[in-house]
Structure 1
Amino acid sequence: MELLEQIVEFKSSPELIGELYKYGIQKHYKAGTVILNENASVRSIPIVTKGTLKVIRTEEDGREILLYYIRAGESCIMSFLGGLHNETSKVRAEAEEDVEILFLPIEKVSLFIKAYPQWLDYIFRLYHKRFEELLEVVNAIAFKKVDERLLVLLQKKKELTGNKILHVTHEQLANELGTARVVVSRLLKQLEETGAVQLGRNKITLV
């Protein structure tokens, strides 16, 4: 929980930190747990205090695409928008690794915007970052080959976990990239042949 004091926008407002501690509810989740489903009501805003969440969009035909990650010290801008406008969630949030999350009741979000300019600065910074990340997703889908996107995704997972051994299935990678499992399996085999990765059962080691 000490992480809240390290968030840039919060450092100048001990009062805001105190309010977050007072009204926030701390919960722990194991890797793979779905925190928020699509079309679910948004009743609270998550602030990740430890670990990482991934935010995924699912199409009607069942295909998925990874939109962005939420790291420690960050929140989900989609939850902010959905909660403020009383709309259901347009995305699914899932624990990439074991996480700790502070949930702030949605009714406090609007009050904090009016009472603490630091809270509004925090929201705008996250909005800007997520917008840039979504532009990267659009750019990657439009202009990059799947093998490039796969390698970028593997490197990003390595950075997030701090571990070159990734415990992830080909199916999970395919879902996050919005492609077929057989495509991912073929590309991983090619990467293994070039010496970029080593493949194991439900794990990939970046060399």
Structure 2
Amino acid sequence: MIQELTESYGGIFEKELINEIAQVGTFKDVPEGHKLIEIGDYIKGMPLLISGAIKILREDNDGDELLLYYLEKGDTCSMTMACCMGDSKSEIRAITETDSKLIMVPIQKMEEWTAKYKSWRNFVFNSYHERLNELLNTLDSIAFDKMDARLVNYLKEKSRINKGNIINNTHQEIAYELHSSRVVISRLLKKLEQMGSIELHRNYIKILDL
């Protein structure tokens, strides 16, 4: 565990903190599509992502989802931290986008390390700042971008996160994450295919030139 922590967080945390994380943290090897956090759950630990990617989703009153942002290697979720510190219920859903490895840090250590390690304080503040910027980008996209531009950005980000040009999502799943309808998404995907930007297949989408 120490080696994997050092590879992911060695440039962020000092050696003493990495050793403490290894001692008290719980290592998890999680497959793609696994639900890590559900809306309404009380969160007892904070995830530090060693590898892979996690998508963070919000749900409206009708049960429809909206993709907020992704977590990648070296990240953590500031919304999870806020729930941990406030002992409040989660307002987000976290699902692994790819096979992932992570370490769960117990909440009682978070305040202790904030006082003890400057690197941990900086990490927490930077995480809040980065996630806030991502949330603002999502808000700007919803408020100002047309759905076709949002779809292109979504496909580009999916391709980057999965490190390949194959998107293994149905039209309905994309519609859920973009808070749209399957009919609209299917129409826009067909338009992108006609432009030569993608290829549509039965169970996947191939990115050609976005």
Q: Establish whether TM, by shorter chain, passes 0.5.
A: yes
Q: Summarize deviations over 1:43-81 as a string: whole Å, max 9, x none.
A: 000011110000000011112110000001111111100
TM-fit CA distance, 1:106: 0.9
Letter in 2 for 1:173: I
Residue of structure 2 equivalent to 1:97: 98
Residue of structure 1 equivalent to 2:193: 192
Give the 5 Å matches for 1:1-207.
1=1, 2-5=3-6, 6-7=8-9, 8-10=11-13, 13-207=14-208
Cα separation, 2, equivalents of 1:202 and 1:91: 28
Letter in 2 for 1:168: N
TM-score, normalised to structure 1, is 0.96
* Length, aligned pairs only: 205
TM-score, normalised to structure 2, is 0.95
- State the SS of the aligned residue for 1:94: strand
Which consecutive unaligned segments of at least 5 residues does structure 1 have? none
Q: Is the 8 A contact 1:24 1:104 kept in 2?
A: yes
Runs of 4+ in 1 over 3 A off after TM superposition: none
Cα separation, 1, equivalents of 2:84 and 2:72: 20
Cα separation, 1, equivalents of 2:102 and 2:203: 27
Cα separation, 2, equivalents of 1:100 and 1:52: 9
- State the SS of the aligned residue for 1:9: coil
TM-fit CA distance, 1:4: 2.7
Letter in 2 for 1:153: Y
Percent of aligned positions that are identical: 35
TM-fit CA distance, 1:187: 0.6
